[in-house]
Chain A
Amino acid sequence: MATRMRNGLSSIVGLVLLLLALIVISSTIYSILHTVNENAYMNLRVLDRKALRNSVKYLVECVYKYIDNTAIITLVNNLPEPFQIVGYVIVYNNITFETVRLAKLEVVPPLTNLSLSLNLAEEPRAIFIVILIRDEVTHLIVRKSTQP
Chain B
Amino acid sequence: MKNGRPNIGVSELISSLLTILITLALGAVVLISINNYSYSISTLFKSDIESRQVGLMKSLDLVIASASKSTNEVRLVISNGVVRLNILAIYVNDVLVEGLSLTLEPLDIKVVEFKSPIKLLEGSIFRVKVVFDGGEEVIYGYTYA
Q: Which residues of A contact B (CB under 8 A)?
A: 2, 5-6, 8-9, 13, 17, 20-21, 24-25, 28, 31-32, 35, 38-39, 42, 45-46, 49, 86-87, 89, 91, 95, 97, 99, 101, 126, 128, 130, 132, 135-139
Contact = CB atoms under 8 A, between A and B. Distances in A.
Contacts of B35: 24, 28
A105 to B, nearest CB: 12
The 7 tightest CB contacts between A and B, nearest first, are A137-B81, A35-B45, A99-B109, A28-B38, A130-B79, A137-B61, A5-B16
A130 B31 CA distance: 55
A142 to B, nearest CB: 12
Contacts of B60: 137
B27 A17 contact: yes
A76 B77 CA distance: 24
Given A17-B23, A95-B66, A130-B79, A136 B59 contact: yes
Interface stretch (B50-58, B94-102, B120-128): B50-58
Contacts of A135: 57, 59, 81-83
Interface string B30-47: 010011001001100110
B129 interface: no
Interface residues of B, number: 41
B116 to A, nearest CB: 15
Nearest to A28: B38
A85 B62 CA distance: 16
Contacts, number: 105
B77 A89 contact: yes
Contacts of B138: none
Given A9-B20, A101-B109, A46 B56 contact: yes
Contact of A132 (B24, B56, B107): B107
A135 B109 CA distance: 15
A95 B75 CA distance: 9
A136 B81 CA distance: 6
Q: Which of B38, B48, B111 has the most CB of A within 10 A?
A: B38
A128 B19 CA distance: 78
Given A17-B27, A24-B35, 15 more contacts: A2-B12, A20-B31, A24-B31, A24-B34, A25-B34, A38-B45, A42-B52, A86-B79, A86-B109, A87-B109, A97-B77, A130-B63, A132-B107, A137-B81, A137-B107
